[in-house]
A and B are shown apart, each in its own frame.
Chain A
């Protein structure tokens, strides 16, 4: 059973807390993605799982073993690093074979295992080359090959695609997804790219400042952000967030009023909606304001307004045109709105 359980894991560097109270159950064969802005503690979490970093407090369980005090090599995991961590003095073949060699796998089996791994990552033509003579994408595949060659119980990948160009990233992403599906190995994957997270993950963990913000399927996270941080981080563009006050089911902010919100709350709240949920209308819209800018995205046009201090965007049809400064109305029905408590940032139930 390759179940991975983290209980209240905390990592402190002196006074600075890198990861705080991280608790999570990762199911067997699950593809879990850690997502968050730079410096939020994703790598630290992963390195604690790998055993490269000691945990300050808390427990890490792999199956039914508590692995806190095990050396990395005794945890039966494998890891792909952002800059690959290949051995520059060895050929591709030797690189992939290295884990087998140092683990004293019988020599007779080594060759077959290496060849199988090399086939999976499509490297059979390059086995005699050194890493220096490979392209970024090929190096990345060597690192993958080295990770899968000995069938570990858990894969860890720390931003494995971030050094690749945009096109290669898409194809390698698909390859990783497919590999994981074939091998059925529990995988923890770190990224700060939400598209990667959305496309790859069974479940996503959104982190900020060392703490978990939300855990859920990509759809959950997108449709029901647990707080303003997640709302503002996920989606492109991110959710529009407007601060205002709520009373009797009516939200008011400077230049904006939305009625009919089914909620019992009142007071200072933050209202959120996604650009693609709102629509441009001729009349009767909740927003009637001058256009701040218009961006043509190809598949749509993006209209933005300045409401209060915030920039609010609304998606329009791709042939929609408006001049900057022109007054345009947008409809924001209560049904598309999300409400958050301004003070705590937490989502307010039943919008």
Chain B
């Protein structure tokens, strides 16, 4: 295929990606360097029958003029990155100075919004991903062992938690775990603790969110592993039987090595998806106890009266750095493989 033809074919796709993925990243980077204009205030004297008083009002005209002159806001350099709702250098320094022990320092650090979100995001990513892989693997082994006729329906029901809209899935679970819902109420009764609610207990919130994460993604790894199991080389499996391998040794020496490349694939996909966790936090209304990086951005854009573009931009840039770090092992390996292949 000639270069010209190649580009003619790929152009639409490339343009869309550059325009709506690459460009916004640049735009975010730029926008993170600015902050919103401070409110321009004017003193207005209002008089009524009881007398006159002066009060400060937002000067709409002046604001309009400011926005007109500098639509991006006020230039702030890297200030937004350093402020208390992001990397919070000053606060960190203060904590470092004042804390009696490392443990206390750590706890205090986790109260800072960005670090709090980061801690949940990382915990969610690195707990849910392995659990998804393990759960999916065992479901696949189980389903593989049952008679063929009922495999179809089993796969149908297994797909539901994954296929369903994440927000809807989390709402469905949320209503069940609600203190008046079937699971929540039963749990309270079972543990004899009527104060046990999602809102009251951060641990419970984290657990529930992660349970949701596993519930939502296990079907994915199940299906991938299940398909992998169908392609385990039969000859090799039978060789192992004749060589004297027990059931477990066959799993250990034939099946697991065969599924290993699939595990890399699942892990990669899951790391990417779990790192951007957002919907369950909205669905479970869990923001009080658990926030994620994505949620911080979402909140900056939706929560405040006017969107905080600068703040959202800074968090976005930090998140993108996180994604790159997360992907770097894969990228490095691919890069090395590629170089080995071409040289």
| Chain A positions near chain B (C-beta within 8 angstroms) | 50-52, 71-73, 77-79, 81-90, 98-99, 102-103, 143, 146
Residues of B within 8 A of A50 (CB): 238, 242
Give the most central of B241, B244, B245, B254: most A CB within 10 Å.
Answer: B244
Give the most central of A51, A72, A90: most B CB within 10 Å.
Answer: A72
B243 engages A78 (CB within 8 Å): yes
The residue that B243 contacts in the complex, of A83, A88, A89, A98, with Cβ under 8 A, is A98
| Chain B positions near chain A (C-beta within 8 angstroms) | 233, 235-246, 249, 253-254, 257-258, 260
B257 engages A99 (CB within 8 Å): no
Q: List 16 A-B contacts (CB under 8 A).
A: A51-B242, A72-B241, A73-B243, A78-B242, A78-B243, A79-B239, A82-B235, A84-B235, A85-B236, A86-B239, A87-B236, A87-B257, A90-B253, A98-B240, A98-B245, A102-B253
Cα distance, A316 to B287, chains bound together (Å): 95
Residues of A within 8 A of B236 (CB): 85-88
Residues of B within 8 A of A78 (CB): 242-243
B235 engages A73 (CB within 8 Å): no
B246 engages A85 (CB within 8 Å): no
Interface of A is mostly: loop
A102 engages B239 (CB within 8 Å): no
Cα distance, A83 to B258, chains bound together (Å): 16
Residues of B within 8 A of A71 (CB): 241
The residue that A73 contacts in the complex, of B245, B253, B258, with Cβ under 8 A, is B245
Residues of B within 8 A of A51 (CB): 241-242
Nearest CB in chain B to that of A99: its residue: B243
Cα distance, A33 to B260, chains bound together (Å): 39
Cα distance, A71 to B250, chains bound together (Å): 14
B241 engages A85 (CB within 8 Å): no
Nearest CB in chain B to that of A53: its residue: B238
B286 shortest CB reach to chain A, Å: 42
Query: Which 7 A-B pairs have CB atoms at the shortest separation, nearest pair first?
Result: A85-B235, A85-B239, A89-B257, A99-B243, A73-B244, A81-B235, A85-B236
Given A87-B254, A102-B249, A81:B244 Cβ within 8 A:
no
Residues of B within 8 A of A87 (CB): 236, 239-240, 253-254, 257
A264 shortest CB reach to chain B, Å: 52
B235 engages A98 (CB within 8 Å): no
Cα distance, A90 to B236, chains bound together (Å): 12
A158 shortest CB reach to chain B, Å: 9
Residues of B within 8 A of A72 (CB): 238, 241-242
Residues of A within 8 A of B253 (CB): 87, 89-90, 98, 102
Cα distance, A209 to B238, chains bound together (Å): 25
B177 shortest CB reach to chain A, Å: 43
